[in-house]
Amino acid sequence: MSDPRSRLIVALDIPDRKAALEAVKRLSGHVGYFKLGLEIFTREGPDLVTEIRDRGEKIFLDLKLHDIPNTVRGAVRSACQLGIHMLTVHASGGAAMLLAASQEAQSFVSPPLVLAVTALTSLSDEEIRKLGVTLSAEQWVERLGELAYSSGIRGIVASSKELPMLRAKFGDSLKLVIPGIRPAGTALQDQSRTATPAEAIRAGADYIVVGRPILQAPDPARAADSIVAEIYG
């Protein structure tokens, strides 16, 4: 990745189309991807994806698909038809579901990178135990990563805490996308397992996801540039 900005993904955790498009306009050329999640996609639908894509931007569609294999296959097909660059599914959906997602994406001429979400960064160790998972968070992420990789998935979403383990285990065979990024001195808000941009990149992240610290800054473009400088400065 010759352009350091290409490693920065901005989460458009914004409730409506007008605000999202304004953020895209202000941040164009300062970041690599725009991530659209459940809130805004549920409200605005595929038209917003198309509108941002037609501005020449790269789209990360973060819907965390989790359903029976045939349903996920159809959802991946619909998403790929939008010309997106990244798409998430839940690793806990199982091998058959992950394989269906991978195969469907690869049937397209320009397939998006399908990313398997492991443990949400909002989950603490205590909350993970309440789910009935007897493994540690790192062991759970490792198990889900192995499942995803064996099912044809070549990208993982995990917290920075699991980054060294994932990079050591999979080398460069998996792209690692790390959410829960908080620049030094900012509040954690609803995240439990976080890191600064520099920490995540040093630990092996291919991409980092930042939302509110950029979008809620007085000057979002300057905030994005500061994060890139923090990584590479």
40-72 pLDDT, tens per residue? 999 999 999 999 999 999 999 999 999 999 999
**pLDDT (tens digit, 9 = 90+) per residue, 157-202?**
998 889 999 999 999 999 999 998 887 655 545 445 568 898 899 8
Domain range for 49 is: 4-232
Q: Report the CATH number at residue 142.
A: 3.20.20.70
Count of structural domains within the chain: 1
d(CA 77, CA 172): 27
Which tokens sit at 32? 């690599």
Catalytic residues: 64
Which tokens sit at 128? 């993970």
DSSP at 109: S
Please name the helix (run of DSSP H) or strand (run of DSSP E) that holds residue 140, with its range, or none. helix 137-150
Which tokens sit at 127? 């909350």
The per-residue DSSP string of 156-203 comes to EE--GGGHHHHHHHHTTSSEEEE--B--TT---TT-SS-B-HHHHHHH
- Claim: this prediction has a pTM higher than 0.75: yes
**pLDDT (tens digit, 9 = 90+) per residue, 103-134?**
999 999 999 999 999 988 777 788 888 988 88
